[in-house]
Amino acid sequence: MPRLAVHRANAAPDPTANAAPAEASAAPWAAALPDQPDRLLLTPRAAAQALAIGERTLWNLTNRGELPCVRLGRSVRYDPADLRRFIEAQKAVPR
């Protein structure tokens, strides 16, 4: 629900009151693409979303050794470059 500006006598209106909300629909992994250096690794959830697969499928690929991961203590992260290499390897060759 949009915020409505409350106008008081002799008060300047709030210019941001009726502004559209910030982009909440942006993909959570969009800021972590390889061409953007602010984030180097993706969480499993973000990696699964980037590949458009379920997290369970991502874990299965990782456990089978088909998709490399980075382990930092108990945390598991994915390098976006590895995701791109995985995608390239999965492309079918036309006959």
And the tokens for 32?
A: 């972590």
For the chain, which domains are there?
Answer: 30-90 (1.10.1660)
Read off the pLDDT band of 2 (50, 70, 90): low
Indicate yes or no: pTM above 0.75: no
CA distances from residue 21 to 16, 17, 37, 55 in whole angstroms, order as listed: 10, 10, 26, 29
Question: Other CB atoms closer than 10 Å to residue 42's CB: what's the count?
Answer: 24
pLDDT tens column, 20-50: 555 544 545 454 455 555 679 999 999 999 9
